[in-house]
Amino acid sequence: MSGPLLSARGLSIAFGGVRAADGIDLDVAAGEFLAIIGPNGAGKTTFINMATGYLRPQTGTISFAGETITGLAPRAIVRRGIARSFQIPQLFTEHTVLENVALKVAARRGFWHGFRPLLDAATTRAALAVLDQFGLGDAAFARATELNEGTRKLTDIAMAVALEPRVLLMDEPTSGVASAEKFAIMDTLVAALRARGVTAVFVEHDMEVVERYADRVAVWSQGRILASGPPAAVLSDPAVLREVIGVEARHVGGGGDARA
Partner 1 sequence: MGGRLAAPATVGTALVLGLAAAAPWLTFVFTIALAKGLAVLGILLLLRAGQVSFGHALYLAVGAYTVAFARPLAGDVLVLLPLATAVATLVGVVVGLFVARYRDIFFGMLNLAFSMVVYSLLEKLYAVTRGTDGIRVDRPTIAGVALERVPYEWTMLGLMLALAIGLGFVARLFLASPLGQALPAIKARETRLEFAGISARRVLLVAYVASAALAGLGGGVIALTTLHVTPLIAYWTHSGELVFIAILGGGGAVLGPFLGAVAFELVRVYAAAAFPDAWQMILGAVLLGIILFASRGLWGLYEGLMARLGRRA
Q: Which residues bind partner 1 (CB under 8 A)?
A: 52, 54, 73-76, 78-79, 83-84, 90-95, 99, 102-104, 106-108, 111-112, 114-119, 123, 159, 163
Which of helix, strand or coil describes residue 199? Answer: strand
Answer left, alpha or beta for residue 237, where phi above 0 means left and psi between -120 and 50 means alpha.
beta
Residue 235 and residue 218 in contact, taking contact as beta carbons nearer than 8 Å: no
Q: How far apart are CA 7 and CA 239, in angstroms?
A: 26
End-to-end CA distance of the chain: give it in Å, rounded. 42
Q: Which is nearer to partner 1, 118 or 142 (CB)?
A: 118
Q: Which residues share a beta bridge with 61?
A: 9
Contact between 177 and 188 (Cβ < 8 Å): no
Instruction: Determine the residue type at 147.
Output: L
- Tell the smallest beta-carbon distance from residue 71 to partner 1 (Å): 15
Shortest Å, Cβ 112 to partner 1: 7
Q: Toward partner 1, which CB reaches closer, 171 or 206?
A: 171
Give CA–CA dist 108/67, Å, rounded.
20
Length of the chain: 260
> What amino acid occupies position 241?
L
Residue 95 or 251 having the CB closest to partner 1: 95
Shortest distance, CB of residue 158 to partner 1, whole angstroms? 13
Distance CA 164, CA 143 (A): 23
Q: Return the closest-CA partner of residue 112 out of 75, 153, 151, 166.
A: 75
Please state the closest distance from residue 26 (CB atom) to partner 1, in A.
Answer: 21
Q: Minimum Å distance from CB 62 to partner 1?
A: 16
Nearer to partner 1, 95 or 205 (CB): 95
Smallest separation (angstroms) from partner 1 to the CB of 118: 4
Strand partners, 199: 167
CB closer to partner 1 out of 144 and 252: 144
Closest distance between partner 1 and the C-beta of residue 260, in Å? Answer: 42
Q: Which is nearer to partner 1, 157 or 217 (CB)?
A: 157
Comparing CB distances to partner 1, the nearer of 119 and 178 is 119
